[in-house]
Structure 1
Amino acid sequence: MVKLIDEFRRGWYGISQPSPLFSIGFAASCLALATAARWGLSLIRPDVFFTPYIPAVFFATAFGGLRVGTATALAGGVLGAAVNFSDASVDSARFALMAIYLIVCGFAIWGIEHYRSIASNQRDISRRLIQEEEYRKLIVDELQHRLKNKLSTIHAVLHQVLHDQPQVWASIDHRMRALSATDDLIARLDRGGCDIKDLLLNELGPYGHVRFTLNGNSLFLPEKLAVSLALVFHELATNAGKYGAFSATHGLLQVSWSASDDRLSITWDETEGPPIGAIGEAGFGTKLLKSALRPFDGKTEIAFLKTGVHCTMQCRVPRS
């Protein structure tokens, strides 16, 4: 019984074609129910010959396909013309009604088959997309694993080379660990999201908690937006460490954010950094900052002030 129910479900949803015997049995049941309905209607109106068989054709076609639907339509026409539940004689009017019935059934069968074809194509596309997504995740996981191994190898080599220069090693060690922590964070964010404050603490922590201030309420970021902001914050923090506030002894950073409805505004403000020289042509980092938030109806504006980099970001927060 369970097997029959599962076969019926798979056939009805078009997942697989039911067996011929099951399809014929289902069509015969539809015809029997339609004939019983016709008998009931004949008690009220005896000239209803073919109308009850149209739903039978619909359900038989949706379940069994073109051939079963066509056979059901023809059988319904024969039953409507040959079986009487009243004293009405078979005349030309009944054959005219049968012709109209067959035309209606033809359009119904064509429409149902067209829908079944579209649904089948959509299922194939969905199946391929799922397979491609699984393959993408496999490749990304493998690349993350290899990157982590390379960072560990570089970390070990540098430690061995700089073992007699502890001050140089101390300045490099925490940055290498920050890179590794960022890679791990992005991998985790891609599966669940996080709070914006935790994201900033993870990115900025290696530069020293006394060097930055965070102002804003707790705000959960869905995974896709969290990954994009992680890339943006990492790029800004890296630039601050190379050329901005974190590269100077007294440099400071203040990050503020606020949310109104579904819009998020973030301000990145560096002060007491080294003087900013001539700005060259936009590189990959600048292009990343400009484009990372576009999928979220967002924009990023960067100003190189005398006091340091001033960056404002606005975007839409998707509903998680």
Structure 2
Amino acid sequence: MVLDRNLCFSAANPAYLDATNRSFEDLDGRFLFDVFPNDGEGREVLLRSLKRVLDTGEPDTIAYIEYEIPRPERLGGGMERRYWTAVHTPLRDARGEVQFILQNTVDITELARLRAAASDPFGDSFGAAVELVQRAREAEHENRTRADPLDAFRRLFDEAPGIIALLQGPDHTFTYANQAYRRFVGDRHLVGLAIRDALPEVVEQGFPDLLDHVFATGEPMLGFGARVLIGDPARGATNETYLDFSYTAIRDSAGDISGILVQGYDRSDSVRANQRQRLLLDELNHRVKNTLSTVQSLARRSFSSTGDPQAARRVFEARILALSNAHNLLSEHHWESAELATILQLEIEAFGSDRVRAEGEGIRLNPKATIALAMVFHELASNALKYGALAGPDGRVTVSWERDGDEVRLEWREENLQASIDSIASGFGTRMLKRIVEGELLGRLSVDFPPRGLAWSMVVPCHEIEDLGTQLRQH
């Protein structure tokens, strides 16, 4: 008969059905131990054998097992004690994974009964049968005695967090791989395969050569944070991993090297965390340098543009506050991006004016553009408050923006000005605007003077100001 990985019946031949007094309709799709319940030792022996096949991918034999099965009602009902030998063979799919177990059973109940009648006076034929059953029982007892420590080691190794494998011979053939190792290589079939066949992707990476050296010399091999490219058959991809590992020679009773013990620990998560930390530190250093450079420029320009130290200090502090506001906004969003409308509102609020209207679609700015436009809006609002539309009671400011192909067009328009054009379109503020828009953002800046008005126009490439996520969505 055939069981699936859940130990449910998938097929059974007539001989099995006759031996168990069942029809296939009674078995199809049902759990083995629901059909043939048994709370005794027989259940444990059978379950261990089936589990070994699933865990190792190797056939397993039960030389002798006592297992009761239900007797059909037509034969009187109840339970009937039967004796069996069984061979469990793995059936694999196209990828080499165990999908089913073929059980080949032989009912030896009559032989067992002959053994119980060992005092029967009949001659050699009965004696040979009795001896056969006795040897089968002894062989099964010996196998179980040997298997118990091995099962204990398998359970111990399978529960270990690190990867463990046993390789045999000069070809480094897998004889065992624990659950962690199998997960590490994408749950591929390993047992019975040489490493060059089981994991062909590691050949060019040199790992079989290291195993050859250990097998030839007996010298252990250690690796720390080694980069290993492992295939993922399920996704058809390759995973980049980092591994601490050791190769240790295994010697037989004569002292000759017979295999290699492989142990390791997947450090991929910690290595990537360290890499991210280094990137963050590099980014932090870059931002600090840029910020210091901006502060130096603000200080130099602020204190050189006026002869009044107190006025210069106030201008400088206001610009530092604008810079700080932009930093705070970016920090709230993990220094990834900020909305253009939000940074405009933040800088306008600092001047306490409600005569500024904003019009435009949602545009997310990258960190560099966030800081740059924060300084632009600060300078424009500061000039409007001193000399422009916000200096008088009737002035108004409209800020509008739109995406035009691969560019963003932004306009700052002031109406009902009372100051002269010369006082507005000159000075450090104007020079600073040009430096930011044309120098930092690689855009174009122009100014127009309609009647009693002022209009600053800025055109900036999208890739210079938009965050990466927006750029990817646009393309």
- TM-score normalised to structure 1 length: 0.48
Tell me which of the two structures has the higher relative contact order, counting C-alpha pairs closer than 8 angstroms and 6 or more residues apart. Answer: 1
Larger helix share, 1 or 2: 1
Larger Rg: 2
| TM-score, length-scaled by structure 2 | 0.35
Structure with greater strand share of residues: 2
